[in-house]
Structure 1
Amino acid sequence: MIRLLAPVLALGLAFVAGASAHDTETAYKASKVTLVYEHELPNVPGKSIKGVLVEYGPGGFSAGHTHPDSSFIYATVLEGAIRSQVNDGPVTVYRAGESFSEYPGDRHAVSANDSETAPAKLLAVFVLDTADKELVTPLKP
């Protein structure tokens, strides 16, 4: 019985090892997003400002997404270079010190580190309705 189960167990372990390697690779390629600032605007009732640090490892990216319909976003690249496409506009590379904006309702189809060897970081500053808690909604396939 053990001789019959050994090949099945070995095959099962191979699948688990393959899944773990894939999960590690996917996690490595994904972005790290950290809320670094949040404050209600005292002179604009119902609106808040949120600062989000987005860090990409080499080759890292974020899946296509949208932001709340109330949000205006101003993003500045802090390190490296970020490849970005908003709506149907051109794919553009922004380097450290350069900025771009996203308007309410925009679709962010491409957001990625432009390098396969160096990390990249950006600071995204959101002005949005205070009631909006989810900052990112994945695009539907």
Structure 2
Amino acid sequence: MRPSVLTLAVALVAASPVAARDLVEKATPAFHRELPNVPGKSLIAVTVDYPPGAASPPHRHARSAFIFAYVVSGAIVSQVDEGPRRVYRAGDSFYEDPGSRHLVSRNASSTEPARLLAVFVVDTDDKVLVTPEQQ
């Protein structure tokens, strides 16, 4: 439910230095539903708004989370695990397998905002959707 999505937003903001908080993304709950045909699983959607120059700290998602990400507007630079660092533009999508490390997630522009829709398929009992990496 909403606490898990709020945990995502709070964890990302808390992990960043006070002076850099204006350059951090804002996660907003969009949808949450337990899947009636897949017991123990839920579908959670979150919009992630990146102001110009904003970035997420490196993080991991819940171990059970399969994530589909769709760039709604702007452009996002992303690197998952040891894969290539890529720029995804509006209309592009990518995914993260369960247990992946999201090493880079940032707005590709220092002048324009960007928006991402992240859709999680996750164990219903997983309440923490993101854990910042220790640096």
Q: TM-score, normalised by structure 1?
A: 0.82
Q: 2-side partners of 1:70 and 1:27: how far apart?
A: 28
Cα shift at 1:26 = 1.3
- Which string of whole-angstrom CA distances, capped at 9 and with x for unpartnered residues, describes residues 94-120 of structure 1? 000000000001000000000000000
SS at structure 2 position matched to 1:45: coil
Match for 1:119: what amino acid? P
Q: Which aligned pairs between 1:1-141 and structure 2 lie closer than 5 A?
A: 23=18, 25-141=19-135
Match for 1:40: what amino acid? E
SS at structure 1 position matched to 2:69: strand
Kindly report structure 1 stretches of 4+ aligned residues shifted beyond 4 Å: none
Match for 1:140: what amino acid? Q
Q: 1-side partners of 2:21 and 2:52: how far apart?
A: 12
SS at structure 1 position matched to 2:29: strand
Cα shift at 1:37 = 0.3
Larger Rg: 1
Q: 1-side partners of 2:83 and 2:38: how far apart?
A: 31
Cα shift at 1:140 = 1.7
Cα shift at 1:27 = 1.8
RMSD of the alignment, in Å? 1.0
SS at structure 2 position matched to 1:42: coil
Identity %: 55
Partner residue in 2 for 1:7? none
- Which string of whole-angstrom CA distances, capped at 9 and with x for unpartnered residues, describes residues 34-61 of structure 1? 1110000000000000001000000000
Q: 5+ unaligned residues in a row in structure 2: which ranges?
A: 1-16
SS at structure 2 position matched to 1:53: strand
Partner residue in 1 for 2:12? none
Q: 2-side partners of 1:88 and 1:70: how far apart?
A: 19
Q: 2-side partners of 1:106 and 1:63: how far apart?
A: 14
Match for 1:100: what amino acid? F
Match for 1:74: what amino acid? F
SS at structure 2 position matched to 1:82: strand
| Structure with bigger RCO (C-alpha 8 Å, 6+ apart) | 2
